[in-house]
């Protein structure tokens, strides 16, 4: 009898969350799908008119002005993570603002990602739907995660990763398992809507797997160590770039105009735009075993400038770009398959910068299939353990040690010190 009453009580929550997650999936997924299509149109426009990059400094001025008018603090994804931790309100009016930020950046070929915007858009929509259903403060965090899952899935076409990533990103060492079903439903709906309206997703070639022996495993561990070091350097570079530009360019208009001008001049000097936008051409080159370390250094330089001076987007896609090149070069040096090592490098660096090992492993499956799971599992595990407590997102809490069974809170320690 007691079990029956528990079942009835939980059934009410089940039905309620089904309704809420479906609504969030439809709303956030639709916006995410529209965002995906918008970026596709912009990408095609850039290919037809490559000279549009000359407008990058002017686009930067528009971004700063938009931020001033809307009083945006510029915290981006960190603000969404803070909302999960502290049950804070997210302003729905910022959804079109985040949308426009990234559209402007990508229109003028800004070399940054787009996933950060999807998390911000989806999180704000989910947060407001949670308010509309009068969910309590703890459950509002779940609604926010649902929105993040739906928009992320609609943008990247990886619903499994989207659901787990949203649950894993806020607090390292703790998973919000109560959000598993709601996030899964929202992610699948967002992905379905995006696919139904003709959105295109990344399509990577199938990686040929070698016979897994001790030599291959040893080399993968070495690659994982390199990815861990690279992830710490990448996070440090991104944070340092923002700090330095903020310190020495107090006038945001001057800073972003100067940064945009530098990127334009570098692009003209290089005589190609492979490092702009998502950089899929170079990722494909890496997966074909043809990338070089020059590609990596140029991407880091351009991404640091663009995000440092205030252009908007995300760091995950550039990190996949850099990880692919790094893995390709390391694999070629080791005498291993540079194509496979490029794929491993992508997932190793993604894990190191986000501290999300489960999402990283799932992303490898959705990108490359299930044949190479043991290899991806190994590189992700090594990168996660050795990447320290750095993160792309300063609001992310490290609640459990990566190397011993101990509860910690790196964020609180940093505040005290």
Nearest CA to 81 out of 122, 114, 32, 136 is that of: 122
Q: What is the pLDDT of residue 132?
A: 85
pLDDT tens for each residue of 253-264: 888 999 899 989
Mean pLDDT for the chain overall: 85
Q: What's the rounded Cα separation, in Å, for the pair 163 and 389?
A: 23
pTM of the model: 0.89
Domain span(s) for CATH 1.10.3080.10 in the chain? 2-196, 214-412
Correct CATH for 214-412 of 2.130.10.10, 1.10.3080.10, 3.40.50.720, 1.20.1250.20: 1.10.3080.10
pLDDT tens-digit series, residues 340-351? 899 999 999 999
- Domain 2-196 sits in CATH at 1.10.3080.10
Find out whether 42 and 107 touch, Cβ atoms under 8 Å.
Answer: yes
Paired tokens of 152:
């992320």
Cα 349 from chain centroid (whole Å): 12
Asked if residue 193 has pLDDT above 90, the reply is yes
Query: Dihedral, CA atoms, 148, 149, 154, 157, nearest 10 degrees?
Result: 130
pLDDT digits 0-9 by tens, 107-118 = 887 667 777 788
Q: Residue 355: which of 183, 220, 178, 165 has the closest Cα?
A: 165
Contact of 221 with 348, CB cutoff 8 Å: no
Digit-coded pLDDT (tens) for 48-94: 888 888 999 999 899 988 888 877 766 677 778 887 877 777 777 77
Measured CA to CA, the distance from residue 342 to residue 333 in angstroms comes to: 12
- The predicted-structure confidence for 285-340, as pLDDT tens digits, reads as follows 888 888 888 888 888 888 888 888 888 877 888 888 899 999 999 998 988 888 88
């Amino acid at each position: 009898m007691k079990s029956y009453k528990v079942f009835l009580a939980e059934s009410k929550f089940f039905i309620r969350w089904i309704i809420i997650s479906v609504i969030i999936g439809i709303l956030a997924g639709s916006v995410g799908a529209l965002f995906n299509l918008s970026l596709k149109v912009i990408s095609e426009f850039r290919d037809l008119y490559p000279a549009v990059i000359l407008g990058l400094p002017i686009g930067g001025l528009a971004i700063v002005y938009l931020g001033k008018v809307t009083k945006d603090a510029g915290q981006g994804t960190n603000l969404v993570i803070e909302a999960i931790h502290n049950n804070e309100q997210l302003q729905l009016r910022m959804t079109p603002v985040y949308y426009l930020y990234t559209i402007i950046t990508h229109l003028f070929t800004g070399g940054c990602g787009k996933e950060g915007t999807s998390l911000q858009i989806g999180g704000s929509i989910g947060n407001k739907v949670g308010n509309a259903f009068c969910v309590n403060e703890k459950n509002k965090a779940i609604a926010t995660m649902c929105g993040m899952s739906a928009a992320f899935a609609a943008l990247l076409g990886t619903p499994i990763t989207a659901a787990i990533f949203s649950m894993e990103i806020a607090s390292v060492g703790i998973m919000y398992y109560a959000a598993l079903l709601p996030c899964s439903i929202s992610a699948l709906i967002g992905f379905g809507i995006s696919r139904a309206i003709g959105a295109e997703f990344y399509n990577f070639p199938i990686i040929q797997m070698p016979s897994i022996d001790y030599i291959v495993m040893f080399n993968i561990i070495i690659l994982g160590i390199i990815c861990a070091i690279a992830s710490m350097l990448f996070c440090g570079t991104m944070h340092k770039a923002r700090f330095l530009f903020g310190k020495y360019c107090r006038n945001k208009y001057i800073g972003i105009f100067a940064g945009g001008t530098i990127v334009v001049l570098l692009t003209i000097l290089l005589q190609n735009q492979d490092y702009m936008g998502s950089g899929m051409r170079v990722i494909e080159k890496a997966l074909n075993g043809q990338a070089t370390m020059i590609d990596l250094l140029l991407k880091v330089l351009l991404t640091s400038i663009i995000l440092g001076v205030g252009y908007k987007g995300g760091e995950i896609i550039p990190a996949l770009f850099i990880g692919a090149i790094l893995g390709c070069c390391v694999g070629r040096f080791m005498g291993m398959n540079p194509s496979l090592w490029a794929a491993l490098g992508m997932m190793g660096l993604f894990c190191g910068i986000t501290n999300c090992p489960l999402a990283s492993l799932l992303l490898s499956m959705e990108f490359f299939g299930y044949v190479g799971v043991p290899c991806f599992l190994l590189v992700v595990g090594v990168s996660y353990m050795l990447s320290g407590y750095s993160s792309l997102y300063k609001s992310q809490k490290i609640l459990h040690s990566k190397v011993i069974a101990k509860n910690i809170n790196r964020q609180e320690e940093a505040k005290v010190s």
